[in-house]
Amino acid sequence: MNKLFSTKIRWLLLCLLTPTFLVHAQSLTTVKGTVAAARDGAPLVGVTVAVAGRNIGTQTDARGAFRLQVPDPDGTLVFTYIGYLSRQEPLNGRTGGISVSLEEDERKLEEVVVVGYGQQKRKDVTGAVTSVSGAELNKLPVTRADQMLQGKLPGVQVMNNSGRPGGSVRVNIRGSNSINGSNDPLVVIDGVIGASFQDINPNDIASMDVLKDASATAIYGSRGANGVIMITTRRGKAGKTKVSYNTYTSWQQVANKLDLLNAGEYLQMRHALLDLYKSTGDARAPALESELSTIDPAVNTDWQDEVYQSGQQMSHELSISGGSEKTRFMLSAGYMKQRGIIKRSDFTRASLRLNLDHEINSRLRVGLNLYVVKSGENRASENRAGGSEGGDIIQNATRFDPTLPVYDAEGEYNRMRNAGSQLENPVAQIYERERRYNTTRLVSSLFANYEVARDLNFRTSFSYDYEDNLNKFFTSGKLMEALNTGMAEAATSKYNHWIIENTLTYDKTFSDHRFTVLGGFTAEAEEGYSFDATGRKLTTEVLQYNDLSAASNALISSGHGRNTLASFLGRINYAFKDRYLLTLSGRADGASKFAKNNKWAFFPSAALAWRVSEEEFLRHSGFVNNLKLRVSYGESGSQAISRYQSLARITLGANAYAYGNTELVGASNNAMANPNLTWETTRQLDAGMDLSILKDRISASVDYYQKTTFNLLYSKPVAAYTGYTSIMSNIGKMQNRGWEFEINTRNLTGAFTWSTNLNFSANKNKVLELGDLEEIYLNGSAGALGSGFSRTGVLRIGHEIGEFYGYVFDGIYQNAKEVADLPAPNAQPGTVKFRDVNNDGEITPDDRTIIGSAMPDFTYGFSNDFSYRNFDLSIFFQGSYGNDILNLNLFKLERSGNEENSLRKVLDYWHGEGTSNTIQALDQGTGDMSSRYIEDGSYLRLKNLMLGYTLPAVITTRWGIQQVRIYGSAQNLLTFTKYTGYDPEVNSRSDDSSQQNRNLLWGYDLGSYPATRSYTVGLNVTF
């Protein structure tokens, strides 16, 4: 019976399946084709190719090719691929030569955004978070990763402090919060807190996410007030091993040279001065006449040409990534070298990164991030005060006598003819001074994720950051700084920072309710050691800094410091029907930096969001794809001050005294103790909207924010009778409020694509309180320009930071009556005239007022990206509007008839009534700090223009290569500005660690290393 039953079953199955087999055997048709990316024509590997309505399909191979048997030659194929829009392609009888291109899926709702201690889908984000991909960032050939952010994101202001190779960059997110504390954002790279932009290889970056409001940053507590930049580096993916090689070479030049007097014009001015001396019987006439008689009129030295050169930057980067479903890896090595536009200035960086992920079992996953970088810089002298140090190369190249050759008849460096001049030969400064900075850094992190239960995950990580610095300086006895003696210095410092982090995450969905709960504890410690040895009066200069025992006079110093931080953190994310979103977060930090009465602080935040587009009245709209309203409020803090600031401190070695026949090292009081010193705390309100319409062809976001920082940290001077000089105090509060806009459009899709990005930011800063102070005066000249510049800026209640302070320049006194009507010290016809601001009938220090501001009204950036077949074109503009620049170079460069060189404009000097109202008479000064030196710093810059071509896949696949792209680009190609200096993007004083108030000294230009214009060619190859 059983045998009979089984026989019937077999016959039944045979009858049912036979028609299917017959149909397939009779009508299957083989079709072949290729699939590529629409943007650049690169073949796509692993694309799913399926017959519409049938369970028949295949995948593309390494060349993007597919081969599939279909039942109907007039059917339709469906192409799907992660990260790309699916596409249906009717066959229409075609069996071969089918070429399909897929568009990138630029819808952002399902994108994963990196936030503090986790990730979120963009649709679930309740805070102000903006992102930019590594592909977009790497369109610019830069030495530092933070330079790539300039003009890319709203609310993020990026300013180059210096144009030198490897020069520092200032990044502000939603304005400046602090006076003496740091305004730099917290940088987190792959979860490692406190990383540096300078050390990371830009090619390793997969994405940057910028956390701007308190809802996003409160999870970082006492370090989140200035915003947080989350950097995610590239990681390996399961599948075929991928090898990539990227290289480029850039040629760089000074974007703008100053228009100076040539030798003939210089002599013309000097002879005019001689005539003036003779006509007035000035006793200086004979000496000047003798000097002029020795000048060779054939000599015409362009000192800018002697100092500047064509710079070059080249980069090589090789990466290997891949792995299995269990183990994935990414290994990259990079080398970059930049030769600066000032001779003998350069920067090099070599880096190695390993990212490793391994799945031990279905519950446990471990990983390793390891990064090693070694960098070196030969730094040109810039932003130096002058005096006995001889000034810096940039200033001296504009002011040195053009009638002097570089070398004298004996082959020695020429000096200014006036023996008392403190102006150094700039070529001598290049070759007779060395400033070498060498850094080795290792950043590593080990982590493990363990699934405790289905909805409960535990993560633990240990991070270690070690940095070793060795700086070596040498100044030849040929320079006045170490005249006839020589000077050498060797300084080393070591830094290490470890962090242990443990977090539990519970993620659960109940019907329409979705919860994600995070809790954690972290502990960390930082430790630093420094040693410095300086030697003067070298018995031989051959050894330079390599043997300081050759110094007759030596000074040795060393230091050590340590600080710790412990934290408890938590966050709750709740969603109801994916429409109503709530985020609560907080962090309690305990820091050793602060006084015993204020070791701990708690920083909470809350945010609400409403996804209006998920409501029934909009859910099926063909016009609105996403509409989300957001509001958040919370606190974050800043502990960005040096350790031991709450303690009384003394200075050793400042005073030596004799005890019998022995000289002993003395000590003196420095700063007073403050047992109540506490954190700066920033409270921030943010309201925003995210919108996308027309199937995400247009997406936009807008945010309004207002943040107030309390307990501003300030090193407050104290009365001399206390025996101390200052005390670190909490003195007041400051406000920043503003608007941010961003819009992205996909204007054209298909074979020809065109997309646009526009972002705009406007921030208004205001000082609300300064404790018992009404205002704080600032000296941004570093003492280089005399007492008339002791007050170049002011911090005043009710005003913004970055304001300039001085007289209002009102032209030139034209006659004796004008002098009599408005008397001023040393005033006479032909001298500088200031405005009588207080209307008291004379010019006094009380006429000084606010004369400008370095803070822009708004900043912006806009880009357009085009592609057609294998060509791609990118155009990126960036700019700033409404900011002023204090061009302190003009104090010397607008003097007329002086022994130092000047700008060509001084040829139009005042030499009688009505002859000039801008340039004073011969032998007269340019005047004290005034609006004469204030210039409009607004600019619009073509930041990057790039044209690329990707070789067709049919060619590269023959060579076993997946993709080859070549490109050419130009950086800073055009700049539209009224600023007369080298470059409007300047910040001389923000990079000066000796300036206590450097956070307030925006927009200063005094000897800054100029920015460059660059031309680049590059190659990207993927195997």
Percent of the residues in the chain that have a pLDDT greater than 90, as a whole number: 64
pLDDT band at 52 (very low <50, low <70, confident <90, very high): confident
Determine contact, residues 508/515, Cβ cutoff 8 Å. Answer: yes
Residue 222 and residue 120 share a domain: yes
- Residue 94: give the domain boundaries: 22-102
Domain membership of residue 970 (yes or no) is: no
> For residues 66 and 55, what is the distance between their CA atoms, to the nearest angstrom?
16
Domain count, the chain: 2
Element containing residue 263 per DSSP (H, E): helix 263-280
**Which pLDDT score, from 0 to 100, does residue 923 have?**
93
Same domain, 238 and 154: yes
pLDDT value at position 10?
Answer: 44
Residues 58 and 135 in one domain: no
Tokens 């050419």 sit at which residue? 968
pLDDT given at position 693? 93
Same domain, 116 and 218: yes
Mean pLDDT of 586-607: 91
Domain boundary among 66, 82, 102: 102
Q: What is the pLDDT of residue 13?
A: 39
Confidence tier at 3 by pLDDT (50, 70, 90): very low
Whether residues 39 and 95 fall in one domain: yes
CB 468 within 8 A of CB 442: no
609 within 8 A of 701, measured Cβ to Cβ: no
Count of CB atoms situated within 10 Å of the CB of 1019: 13
According to the model, what pLDDT value does residue 24 have? 38
Confidence of residue 763 (pLDDT cuts 50, 70, 90): very high
Distance CA 507, CA 451 (A): 11
Find the range with the poorest average confidence among 51-60, 256-265, 512-521, 874-883: 51-60
Q: Are residues 137 and 238 in the same domain?
A: yes
Same-domain check for residues 152 and 75: no
What CATH number did the domain enclosing 64 receive? 2.60.40.1120
Collect all residues with Cβ–Cβ distance below 8 Å to 8 and sequence separation of at least 6.
none
Q: Which of 445, 447, 580, 595 is nearest to 520 (CA)?
A: 447
Rounded CA separation 97/669 (Å): 85
| 611: Cβ contacts below 8 Å, ≥ 6 apart | 123, 578, 579, 580, 581, 626, 627, 628
124, 237: one domain: yes
186 assigned to some structural domain:
yes
pLDDT above 80: residue 21: no
- Positive/negative CA dihedral, 171, 175, 179, 182: negative
Contacts of 917 (CB under 8 A, 6+ apart): 811, 812, 814, 910
- Residue 749 in tokens: 């899709």
**CB burial of residue 774 (10 Å; 0-12, 13-18, 19+):** exposed
In a domain, 597, yes or no: no
Residue 334: predicted pLDDT: 96
Q: Is residue 74 assigned to a domain?
A: yes
- Whether 17 is covered by a domain: the verdict is no
Give the number of other CB atoms < 10 A from CB of residue 660: 6
Average pLDDT for the chain:
89
Residues 70 and 173 in one domain: no
For residue 416, give every residue at least 6 positions away whose Cβ sits within 8 Å of its Cβ, in sequence order, or none.
400, 401, 404, 423, 899, 900
366-415: per-residue pLDDT in tens? Answer: 999 999 999 999 999 887 766 666 788 999 999 999 999 999 999 999 99
The pLDDT-based confidence of 709 (bands split at 50, 70, 90) is: very high
* Helices 263-280 and 285-293: angle between axes, nearest 10 degrees: 150
Shared domain for 47 and 169, answered yes or no, is no
pLDDT bin (cut points 50, 70, 90) of residue 355 is very high
Q: Is residue 66 part of a domain?
A: yes
- Of 43, 75, 102, which residue is a domain's last? 102
The CATH number for 183's domain is 2.170.130.10
218 and 126 belong to one structural domain: yes
Q: For 534-550, what is each residue's pLDDT tens digit?
A: 999 998 989 899 989 88
CB 579 within 8 A of CB 530: no
- Mean pLDDT for 792-813 is 96
363 vs 674: which has the higher pLDDT: 363
Q: Which residue has the tokens 């303690």?
A: 647
Q: Same structural domain for residues 172 and 149?
A: yes
Per-residue pLDDT reduced to its tens digit, 468-500: 999 999 999 999 888 888 999 999 999 999 999
pLDDT higher than 90, residue 238: no
The distance of Cα 450 from the centroid of its chain, to the nearest Å, equals 36
Q: How do strand 680-693 and strand 600-611 relate by DSSP bridges? A: unpaired
Over residues 883-905, the mean pLDDT reads 95
| pLDDT over 80 at 940, yes or no | yes
**Where a domain ends, among 226, 243, 260?**
243
Percent pLDDT > 70 in the chain is 94
User: Residue 164: inside a domain, yes or no?
Assistant: yes
pLDDT score, position 16? 35
Query: Is residue 139 a part of any domain in this protein?
Result: yes
CA distance 648 to 650: 7
Work out the pLDDT band at 8, boundaries 50, 70, 90.
very low
Q: What is the pTM of this model?
A: 0.87
